A and B are shown apart, each in its own frame.
Chain A
């Protein structure tokens, strides 16, 4: 066995240039596949965390019928009881109560349909990151009367700047039309341009009287210490209202991640299949070039099993060198771009409409490296079977002839 391994290893390096090219191609194939996986999954993770940070948070509580059509009459049933409970659950980092009304934002330049969130800024700051994503102005600190914080896309659409006036039109609890003027205190920009364009924040105490829902809330957003606590916290909340985690409120966010992971494995499988054909090509050439040598080995008494094993080993050695190379390149580049991001501002409009930022941070869990390593070695082994079988079909007497 030791000699077989020695011969196989040395055979790999008989044609250094060819072997190096094959190894590089496998390594680069692995790198490109893993990098694209990391980019895609990283992009989606940013989208997910962007949504959670901006407005979803980890858990939301609503009236059981509220999310059917967002009718403002469906306020939380257990207001007081809920806050008492939430205060006692240790895994809850923070929570924020909200009023949620749909309406229209109007200026001289135009108008646009918006979701109006009536919030307690001090609580909201602890649950979402809007306050940290301001690009202009302040977050409910400066203006005393009817301040509003809006998204950049909406500001651009309606021609709004800091201190500009915007009129919010909406229906109160009795379906009377209410129009009230607010002054822009802050402008935020998230990774989701649709959210930026369609969501505005006002103080609860400014909004509630206008809607006629003082002391009432449509939504409680809860942030847990970490994602793993979500299920446990959910189970602890006892209420008539509906308690949902972020992936239940936006199931497409959760599905997308699983779907993308599956798609990426299929994509990687296709990349490896292409590499397999490369391996088969190279090894078939090697077998055909060495007809005489292989014929000689069969003549002098090397068993077919050993000849088969030798060809398999040569192919596996190529994979054993190329795979770590690809993994190493992948790990380096994914780690680097995971910290520094890839600037895709050239396509930022498209990315932001999907909810991903213009800077993509790559991310790939370590389990993927192991899975792809296993896939690569399996593919290399299977690819090796064809040239190895070809070697067995040699007629020793014919093979050793000089032509």
Chain B
């Protein structure tokens, strides 16, 4: 089942000028449900831009993005925000937890925006905090937690509303090896047991090693698209 589908995506900065940059240069790809995909490439290859377009945070100059069959380019701004709320989970490089909320409140925040009841939120939050191994950190605020713990809370938050997929932009960039390993274990487990789709943009070899599919970007184009069992060469 296709979760994300992109057709001939282009994102061009300073189009027609001397300093034109083609951040995304005709990307067509599909992400299936349950995939654990890493988008890799050197700095400036367009990984983050592609991720942002997939997440509806940025709009392409041309091309389409379909999420669960819906062309998100046709949505108005408020509709897009609402679509993200209900369908997409985000994990950021800098964790981006709400500093004034504790772990429980951070994880449950998205569900609050979706108007779930307190009981439903409590149940889901407890289950997620268990899944990420942070049940004992429930009352702690982000500044009382390590980087690894914060990122695990961020993953829990991304999953709280049961999104169609999770986009993670360099989630391990600020973590040490142990924290990275723990985080990837959790994400793999969620992918395996709950069928959650993860799409990473990453430089981190540890993430690349764990990914089931690797999309290699260079100069905004897919250079190669490798699944662990098969390879699709776009070059």
Chain A residues at the B interface, C-beta cutoff of 8 Å: 3, 7, 10-11, 14, 292-293, 296-304, 306, 396-397, 400-402
The reply to whether B94 and A301 form a contact with Cβ atoms under 8 Å apart is no
How long is the Cα–Cα vector from A178 to B52 in the complex, in angstroms?
104
Q: How far is the CA of A400 from the CA of B100 in the complex (A)?
A: 18
Residues of A within 8 A of B57 (CB): 299, 396-397
Q: Looking at B52, B58, B82, B105, which has the most chain A CB atoms within 10 Å of its CB? A: B52
State whether B81 touches A303 (Cβ < 8 A). yes
A293-B99 in contact (CB<8A)? yes
Separation in Å of the B142 CB from the closest CB of chain A?
A: 11
**Bound Cα distance from A302 to B111, whole angstroms:** 11
B93 within 8 Å of A (CB atoms): yes
Closest 8 CB pairs of A and B: A301-B85, A10-B100, A296-B96, A397-B57, A397-B52, A301-B84, A397-B58, A3-B112
Give the docked Cα–Cα distance between A296 and B167 (Å). Answer: 13
B232 in the interface (beta carbon within 8 A): no
A397 CB contacts on chain B under 8 angstroms: 52, 57-58
User: Chain A: which residue is nearest B167 at the CB level?
Assistant: A299
- B109 interface contact, C-beta 8 A: yes
Known contacts A400-B92, A402-B93; A303 and B100 CB within 8 A of each other? no
Q: Judging by beta carbons under 8 Å apart, are A296 and B92 in contact?
A: yes
Main secondary structure of the interface of A (DSSP, over half): helix
A7 to chain B: which residues have CB within 8 Å? Answer: 98, 100-101
List chain A residues, Cβ under 8 A from B92.
Answer: 296, 299, 400
Give the residue of B58, B81, B99 whose beta carbon is less than 8 angstroms from that of A14: B99
Contacting pair A402 B84 (CB below 8 A): no
Question: Which residues in A have their C-beta under 8 angstroms from that of B110?
Answer: 300-301
The distance in angstroms between the C-alpha atoms of A226 and B46, with both chains bound, is 84
CA distance in complex: A14, B158 (Å): 25
> For residue A299, which residue of chain B has the nearest CB?
B90
Q: Cβ of B169: which chain A residues have Cβ within 8 Å of it?
A: 400
A10 cross-chain contacts in B, Cβ below 8 A: 100-101
Considering only residues 142-195 of chain B, those with a C-beta below 8 Å from chain A are 157-158, 169
Listed A/B pairs (21) with beta-carbon separation below 8 Å: A7-B98, A7-B100, A10-B100, A292-B94, A292-B96, A296-B90, A296-B92, A296-B96, A300-B85, A300-B89, A300-B109, A300-B110, A301-B82, A301-B84, A302-B81, A303-B78, A304-B81, A396-B57, A397-B52, A400-B92, A402-B94
Which chain B residues border A296 with CB–CB below 8 Å? 90, 92, 96
Asked if B55 lies at the interface with its beta carbon under 8 angstroms from chain A, I say: yes
Q: How far is the CA of A300 from the CA of B156 in the complex (A)?
A: 13
When chains A and B are docked, how far (Å) is the Cα of A304 from the Cα of B76?
13
Minimum CB–CB distance from B21 to chain A (whole Å) comes to 15
- Minimum distance in angstroms from B60 CB to a CB of chain A: 12
Judge whether A301 and B86 touch: CB under 8 Å: yes
Q: Which of B96-147 contact A (CB under 8 A)?
A: 96, 98-101, 105, 109-110, 112-113
Chain A residues with Cβ below 8 Å from B86 are: 301
Residues of A within 8 A of B94 (CB): 292, 400, 402
Determine the residue in chain B with the shortest Cβ distance to A9. B100
- Which residues from A are CB-within-8-Å of B88? 301
Whether the Cβ atoms of A11 and B100 lie closer than 8 Å is yes
**In the complex, A250→B90 CA distance in Å?**
75
CB of A313 to closest CB in B, whole Å: 13
Indicate if the CB atoms of A300 and B84 lie closer than 8 Å. yes
**Least CB distance, A304 to chain B, in whole angstroms:** 7
**In the complex the two chains form, what is the Cα distance from A304 to B52 in whole Å?**
18
- Nearest chain B CB to A402's CB is how many angstroms away? 5
B10-32 Cβ-contact flags toward A at 8 Å (1 or 0):
00000000000000000000000
Q: Give CA–CA (A298, B84) in the complex, Å.
A: 9
Provide the residues of chain B in CB contact with A292, threshold 8 Å.
94, 96
* Cα(A10)–Cα(B88), bound, Å: 27
Inter-chain CA distance A397–B84, complex, in Å, is 13
- Return chain B residues, CB-CB under 8 Å to A3: 105, 109, 112
- From B52, B82, B112, contact of A303 by CB (8 A): B82
